[in-house]
Amino acid sequence: MTADELFRHALTSLPEAVGDLLRDGRDPNDVIFTSFDGASELGRAVISTELAMGAGVDGSEAHSEVVRMLLAAGHRGEELVVSLMVTKDVLARILGASHIDDATRVAVRLWLEDSLRGGCYRVVAIAGGEVRAAIVDGGGADEEEEAVPSSSMLN
């Protein structure tokens, strides 16, 4: 999947995630809605970790299950997308484990320092070495409000 496809997917799942966020009484400034390709190395690692922790199984057993899930999805012509609400620190670790260049990591970190105005949410999609990120208005708006600055702006 491309970063643009993942970003569009993130926007479609945002309303449900916002509902969960509001139900739990969490502050939108504390979390970022992230999506990435489940077939990527990063996606497999996150799914395996979640599966191992949630089901209480061994890491290698969880990884084998993820590979099985990916093969089954591929046979059905489907793709597996990982979507999570994460804190800024967790997003930094995810970016650190990804193939994202350092300039983009810095740009995202700087972007995260700004506070959100009411009714807005941060959305990030990671595909390979690409990141799409924006602050969107109210739970699934179609338009990006404020994109992460290009890493070229930092050079």
Whether 66 maps to a domain, the answer reads no
Asked if pLDDT for residue 153 goes beyond 80, the answer is no
Question: Is residue 138 domain-resident?
Answer: yes
Tokens of 6: 């993942």
Residues contacting 150, CB < 8 A, separation 6+: 107
Number of domains in the chain: 1
Give me the mean pLDDT over the 33-54 stretch.
84
CB atoms within 10 A of CB 85: 18
**Contact (CB, 8 A) for 18 and 136:** no
| 58 is a domain residue | no
Whether 71 maps to a domain, the answer reads no
DSSP label of 28: G
Domain that holds residue 9: 3-37+80-154
d(CA 110, CA 148): 9
Q: What whole-number percentage of the chain has pLDDT above 70?
A: 89
